[in-house]
Amino acid sequence: MSRRALLWTGLAVALLLAGLVSYYASSSPDGLEKVAGDQGFLDSAKDSATAGSPLADYGVAGVEDERASVGLAGVLGVIVTFVVAGGGFVLLARRRTRDG
C-alpha cells in the first residue's frame, strides 16, 4: 500500500467513525464524570468558557436531527484536527530539513 493510499484510507476511516459511528457511542458518563458524581463533586464543575461554541458538546447549533448534528460536528473536528496537526508537523519537519 502506498503512503498516499494509507493516508487517504486512514482519513476516510476517521471521517466514518466521527461522522457515522459516533452516533452509536455510549452516552453514559465517562470514568471521571462517574467518579465525580458518585463522590459528590460533580457539581463543582463549571461551564467552559467555550460552552456557547456552535459545536459545543459535539453537536452543530441549529441542526435539529441528532444524527446529523453529531456526525457533522465529528467530521468538522476530524478536518480541523488534521489540518492543524498535519500543517504544524509539516512545518516542523521542513524546519528540521532546512536547519540540516
Partner 1 sequence: MHVPDGFIDVPTSAAFLGVAAVGVGVSLRGARRELDERTAPMAGLVAAFVFAVQMLNFPVAAGTSGHLLGGALAAILVGPYTAVLCVSVVLLVQGIFFADGGLTALGLNITNMALIAVPVAWLTFRLLRRVLPATRFGVLAATAVAAFVSVPASAVGFVVEYAIGGTTQVPLPTVLVAMGGVHLLIGIGEAVITTLTVGAVLAARPDLVYGARDLVPRLELRPAPANG
In angstroms, rounded to a whole number, what is the distance separating the alpha carbons of residues 40 and 10? 41
Among residues 1, 62, 64, 100, which is the contact residue for partner 1, using CB under 8 A?
1
Q: How many CB atoms lie within 10 A of CB 77?
A: 16
Tell me if 48 contacts partner 1 by CB under 8 A.
yes
96's grid cell: 528540521
Smallest gap from Cβ 54 to partner 1, in A, equals 8
Q: How many amino acids of this chain bind partner 1 (CB under 8 A)?
A: 65
User: How far apart, in Å, are the Cα atoms of 23 and each of 15, 17, 19, 62, 79?
Assistant: 13, 9, 8, 17, 18
Tell me if 89 contacts partner 1 by CB under 8 A.
yes
Segment 66-85, which members bind partner 1 (CB under 8 A)?
Answer: 70, 73-74, 76-85
Measure the CA dihedral 81/82/84/88, to 10°.
Answer: 140
User: What is the binding site for partner 1 (CB under 8 A)?
Assistant: 1, 3, 6-7, 10-11, 13-15, 17-18, 21-22, 25-32, 34-36, 38-41, 44-51, 53, 55-58, 70, 73-74, 76-90, 92-97
